[in-house]
Structure 1
Amino acid sequence: MIESRKQRLHALVATAKRKVAAADARFYTQLAFVAVLSGVVWLLADQFGGQHHLFDLRIYRKAVSFWLAGNDIYDYSQPDVINGTLGFTYPPFAAVLMSPMGVLPYGFVKWFTIVTTLLVALLTTYWIMKPVAQRRGWPVWFATCVTTALIFALEPIRETMSFGQINLYLVALILGDLLILGGRGSKWTGVGIGIATAIKLTPGFFILYLLVTRRWRAAAVSVGAAGAATLLAAAFDWHSSWRFYTSVLWDTERVGFPDNPGNQAINGMVARIDDMVPVSSTGKLVWLVLALAVGGYGLWRAAKAHQAKDELAAITITGLAGVAVSPVSWTHHLYWIVPAMIILVDVVLDAPREKKAWWRIGLVNLVYWSFTMSLVWFFRRTPGNHHRNNLPSEIGENAFALLVVALLIFTPYRPGIDGKAGSWARVEEPEALPVSV
């Protein structure tokens, strides 16, 4: 009897050891896969991606140093081959936050930016992937790391790192605000959007999203946070603040030529078509009509997704609409294609094999490889030379803008998904999860 118990105990121990060994082997295999994938993406991005050597970061640092020396930051400018001259274009609050750059060694600023950009990419991807991974029983760390590696192949993420841009920090403020604070019903929901708006005005589009979803308190918190940050910057430098909001803000030429192929907003597309088929007297009116139509449609779809309890889809659709209607959206601003593709893949994986929407798989592949291969740059023309395009090359040069609009239309929302496992929202799980386009 005792011998039998000992045998069973030994068998249990042996089984537990085999499971631990299998789990360890699986973990190390996954770790090796992440390391190899990350290395391959990094090498390919370094070989074939843009070599900008933190160009924008160096502009920020020079402009802030110029400002700390007692000059008006908006007087700083430097020659640029493409855009003529470039200067500091952000609101004064951004200058206040960046002021340490002007006194810290460049080496520290450089590596701080690279490391924090990578960490913020990991964090935001974790926020998006955690619910997806937990619903499917995937290791959250593995899904997060693989997705992060894959998105660094995309031009918006790759170029953000190469330029030393601030886009991912703003994305983190928005996602953290709406997914984390908003999902938990925090009274501070809206503060991240407000701070992001004070740093760079375009996140203010998300305040409109709060308004159309009737979250009055969150909208008020956003406006209050943006106002407080703006007043804080004015306390540092009233003259520059006054000049920015009364003059610099309205000088659209400071950010470069609107028909630059890097500008993949609707405004940029209209400007390039305007150059190809001259209609200069109506170009701005066309952009305004399209911006109002696309922006209104995007906010309507976002409100529908929010009502259906798919906050990530609502945020994503709002982000896509925001970059589409902004006067200038450089290719590194187009982050919102990332959650759009993740949502599309999530919906495809949920569909029964015989009912899978294969067009969604095609759309994901088209978007992923277009942005990985930087499609628009194969068709680029220098500003003022788009009249040399034919129709196929005009489509190619505007491919990112067209794909953003396509994602705005076709990104599905998943009714009730906020109540599923791993969600950041506190919502009861629904009985069924239909999908809406």
Structure 2
Amino acid sequence: MRGQALTPATAAGRITAAVCLVVATAVFLVTVPLHRDFFDVGVYYGTVDDWVHHDGRIYDYLRPGTHYGFTYPPFAAVSMLPMALVSWPVAVGISVALSVVASALLLHWLVGPLIRRTCRSRWFAFTVAGCLFALLEPVRDTFSFGQVNLLLVALVLADARLLATGRGRYAGIGIGLASAIKLTPALFILYLLITGRRRQAGVAAGTACAATLLAALIDPAASRAFWTDALWNTDRVGSLSYVSNQSLQGVLARLQPDHPSRAVWLACVLVVLALWAHRARAAVRDGDDRAGFALTALAACLVSPVTWVHHLVWVIPALVVLADTALRGERKERRAPSVLPVLSAPSALWVVCAALYVILCSSVVWLWRWNSTGPDAFLGANTYVWITLGLLFVPLPPRSRPPGQPGPHGAAALAGGEAEGHAGAGTGRGDRRRIHRFSG
């Protein structure tokens, strides 16, 4: 329907279709998936309540009836202090509201440029995208657990947006705050460094250190307990071999539940980091910063000792990059049709995108929840790890652009489709090209 006038009949049909889609998505989310009863926000709420109202210690608190306690750096607890002022239902409502806001921002930054470039009925396309987003298992679990993952992704991509819109001198604060709340996003500081954004890397590192120091000043004992003990005690977060741990460490722990080899894990981590650094730098040299951010998110999931299924919201930017690549190839092919369109690269990429999306909605890894040993479990229980590795290892075709046009800073795809890039003080090496227009 692209390019046609939006007639009343078409508008009515789209409204009906949108309502049906939203209702069907809501019914599915309420009735089908596993519900986590806001377990993690319960840990946060109980920790802060015990810390503030009962003179407790952050890392001594365990949620009643479980052996799970607070596992994040002390600054995360400091940032959650407002929970001490509200009731439990209000805390749950705030958790959901913040995740909704973060989801809206991510859809606007990640999918918005594709929609604005290709769809005339944008509201309908955003509705479809929102429903597809909500059905992803990592997204469902983030809401159901009351997790902070979507907020952290939004903080990191806020810096990507600043880089894309020529305001790179302010970038790094989001990444620094995300790293102080949870250690996984710290890899983005290294990403800024290896891609020539030394100022932004310094801002990110400085922000993380300042936030960490603030937490240490507020509760020195908690900071000492985290950095000397809790950080290294992986038993606090659960069994490494649990099927929800979709990291390289999780794979090795399921192969050797009793004594997973740290040497093998370290070797795997080094290989992944070497490949990531090579591909991330190449992506930025080609002007595709969005791919660089997506690759960093994938690598962070793989090298983290613990990557629960709900942490895999970090995979979403890579899925969007893959879909955008397929879409660009499809549009190019319309101008020069392939003799065998069914076997064309865009068609194959669409099949891959659809297959990955369905798998990430399927909760397939839980089929091996009670027994993650054996050849079938090696393949099935680690399905999300193989997806993450595949997205990191398999290079995408380079983004095409008109001859002679300088490579755009690809993070503009996160910035709403159009931006002005300006070379100036405080911008990194990757920002020094003047960019007149981004098309997303």
Q: TM-score with structure 1 length normalisation?
A: 0.85
Could you tell me how far 1:243 is from its partner in structure 2? 1.7
Q: Which moved more, 1:164-173 or 1:175-184?
A: 175-184
1:51 to 24, 28, 35: 35
Partner of 2:151: 169
Could you tell me how far 1:138 is from its partner in structure 2? 3.6
**CA spacing shift, 1:423–1:140, aligned 2, 3 Å:** farther
Partner of 2:417: 422
RMSD of aligned C-alpha atoms? 2.5
State yes or no: 1:403 paired with 2:387. yes
Q: Higher Cα Rg: structure 1 or 2?
A: 1
Q: Which moved more, 1:167-176 or 1:408-417?
A: 408-417
State yes or no: 1:95 paired with 2:77. yes
Partner of 1:253: 235
Partners in 1 of 2:437 and 2:162 — Cα distance?
21
State yes or no: 1:287 paired with 2:265. yes
What residue identity is the alignment partner of 1:202?
A: T
State yes or no: 1:369 paired with 2:358. yes
What residue identity is the alignment partner of 1:173?
A: L
Higher relative CO (CA 8 A, sep ≥ 6), structure 1 or 2? 2
Could you tell me how far 1:284 is from its partner in structure 2? 1.4
Report if aligned partners of 1:64, 1:98 keep a CA contact under 8 Å in 2.
yes
Q: SS of the counterpart of 2:63?
A: strand
Report if aligned partners of 1:179, 1:311 keep a CA contact under 8 Å in 2.
no
Q: SS of the counterpart of 2:68?
A: strand
Partner of 1:308: 286
Report if aligned partners of 1:179, 1:425 keep a CA contact under 8 Å in 2.
no
Partners in 2 of 1:194 and 1:137 — Cα distance?
35
Q: Which moved more, 1:42-51 or 1:204-213?
A: 42-51
Report if aligned partners of 2:136, 2:361 keep a CA contact under 8 Å in 1.
yes
State yes or no: 1:196 paired with 2:185. no
| Residue deviations 1:320-379 (CA, integer Å, cap 9, x gap) | 010011000000001133222222222222221524344322321221111111110112
Partners in 2 of 1:260 and 1:192 — Cα distance?
31
Report if aligned partners of 2:420, 2:436 keep a CA contact under 8 Å in 1.
no
**CA spacing shift, 1:428–1:395, aligned 2, 3 Å:** same
What residue identity is the alignment partner of 1:422?
A: G
**CA spacing shift, 1:367–1:158, aligned 2, 3 Å:** same
What residue identity is the alignment partner of 1:216?
A: R
Could you tell me how far 1:423 is from its partner in structure 2? 3.8
| Residue deviations 1:14-67 (CA, integer Å, cap 9, x gap) | xxxx96xx4565555444433322221221122221211111111110111011
Partner of 1:328: 306
Q: Which moved more, 1:108-117 or 1:409-418?
A: 409-418
1:378 to 331, 344, 367: 367
State yes or no: 1:75 paired with 2:82. no
What residue identity is the alignment partner of 2:189?
A: I
Task: Count residues in correspondence.
Answer: 402
Partner of 1:5: none
Q: Which moved more, 1:230-239 or 1:204-213?
A: 230-239
**CA spacing shift, 1:248–1:288, aligned 2, 3 Å:** same
What residue identity is the alignment partner of 2:61?
A: Y
Q: Which moved more, 1:294-303 or 1:152-161?
A: 294-303
Could you tell me how far 1:253 is from its partner in structure 2? 1.3
Could you tell me how far 1:425 is from its partner in structure 2? 6.1
Report if aligned partners of 1:379, 1:394 keep a CA contact under 8 Å in 2.
no
Could you tell me how far 1:407 is from its partner in structure 2? 1.1
What residue identity is the alignment partner of 1:57?
A: V
Identity of aligned residues (%): 34
Could you tell me how far 1:248 is from its partner in structure 2? 1.4
Report if aligned partners of 1:262, 1:330 keep a CA contact under 8 Å in 2.
yes
What residue identity is the alignment partner of 2:111?
A: M
2:196 to 201, 204, 214: 214
Partners in 1 of 2:150 and 2:382 — Cα distance?
23
Partners in 2 of 1:392 and 1:318 — Cα distance?
29
Unaligned runs of 5+ in 1: 1-17
Q: TM-score with structure 2 length normalisation?
A: 0.85
